[in-house]
């Protein structure tokens, strides 16, 4: 992935927040972080390591998906659904919430040489997450629009929640993910070197040229142009 070092590009960002993390005891913080890490590790194990960047945040985690936009939804459902089901059956308040944004990020290396993502794309994912209720998954308009463009059948999975204003007085048009998403994205998509392409890659007709850089991970030039216009 050296071709993506120190550059800006478009990717899907999943932000996971442990609700009221700073108000909890240190023991509870550690326990919830461990549960989140285990759930997230399982949820993204089907995504190739070079197609994802995982960041540890103070109150949760964030993941940048450099390939298929659906990967972010699969991971969000994989992490949140079990806790939502636990809430419904045991009456336990969900302690996790999630937000997904499609936007511009910078891929750089930190002082330890580890790849990280920075920029507006991850900040917007964080703000969207803070609008979510316990156990809820919210997505930005840009993410919802590109998902619907990839497959019209996804349209019914997103319900418009309106415009939300963050602490910086910036408006975000957000969509809530319906429970039906669990049946669509609940199963992990295993990826191997010889596996067939996912539906989004086939639809976008995205291929990696023998030499040179691809314009955006996993997308054709036409899709990239459309997304960039959407983000203006």
CA distance 215 to 105: 14
CB contact at 8 A, 131 and 99: yes
The pTM (predicted TM-score) of the whole model is: 0.79
Contacts of 219 (CB under 8 A, 6+ apart): 10, 204, 206, 227
Please list the helix, strand and coil fractions of the chain in percent, rounded to the nearest 5, in that order.
40, 25, 30
CA distance 130 to 13: 14
CA distance 44 to 68: 12
Q: What is the pLDDT of residue 207?
A: 29
CA distance 143 to 231: 10
Locate tokens 């040179």: which residue? 212
| C-alpha distances in Å from residue 170, one per residue of 122, 124, 128 | 15, 10, 11
User: Would you give per-residue pLDDT tens digits along the chain (232 residues)?
Assistant: 445 556 788 999 999 999 999 999 999 999 999 999 999 999 999 999 989 999 999 899 999 999 999 999 999 999 988 765 555 444 456 789 999 999 999 988 888 888 889 999 999 999 999 999 998 999 999 999 999 999 999 999 999 999 888 887 888 899 999 988 888 887 544 443 334 444 444 433 332 233 233 344 445 555 556 566 655 5
Q: What is the pLDDT of residue 81?
A: 82
3-class DSSP state of 13: strand
CA distance 63 to 85: 23
Contacts of 62 (CB under 8 A, 6+ apart): 13, 14, 15, 16, 54, 55, 117, 122, 125, 126
Contacts of 206 (CB under 8 A, 6+ apart): 214, 218, 219, 220, 223
The gap from C-alpha 167 to its chain's centroid, in whole angstroms, comes to: 22
**DSSP string computed for 138-191:** EEEHHHHHHHHHH-GGGGGGEEEEEEEE-TTS-EEEEEEEPTTHHHHH-S----
Maximal C-alpha separation, the chain: 55
């Amino acid at each position: 992935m050296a071709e993506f070092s120190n550059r800006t590009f478009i990717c899907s960002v999943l932000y996971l927040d442990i609700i009221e993390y700073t108000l909890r005891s240190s023991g509870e913080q550690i326990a919830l972080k461990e549960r989140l890490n285990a759930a997230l590790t399982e949820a993204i194990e089907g995504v190739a390591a070079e197609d994802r960047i995982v960041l540890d945040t103070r109150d949760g985690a964030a993941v940048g998906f450099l390939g298929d936009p659906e990967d972010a939804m699969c991971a969000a459902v994989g992490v949140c659904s079990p806790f939502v089901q636990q809430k419904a059956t045991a009456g336990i308040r969900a302690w996790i919430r999630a937000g997904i944004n499609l936007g511009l990020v910078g891929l750089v290396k930190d002082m330890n040489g580890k790849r990280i993502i920075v920029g507006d794309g991850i900040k917007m994912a964080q703000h969207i997450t803070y609008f979510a209720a316990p156990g809820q998954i919210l997505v930005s308009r840009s993410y919802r629009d590109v998902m619907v463009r990839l497959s019209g059948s996804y349209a019914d999975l997103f319900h418009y929640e309106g415009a939300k204003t963050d602490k910086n007085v910036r408006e975000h048009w957000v969509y809530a993910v319906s429970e039906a998403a669990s049946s669509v994205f609940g199963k992990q998509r295993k990826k191997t070197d010889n596996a067939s392409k996912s539906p989004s890659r086939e639809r976008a007709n995205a291929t990696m040229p023998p030499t040179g850089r691809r314009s955006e991970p996993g997308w054709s030039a036409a899709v990239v142009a459309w997304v960039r216009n959407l983000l203006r």
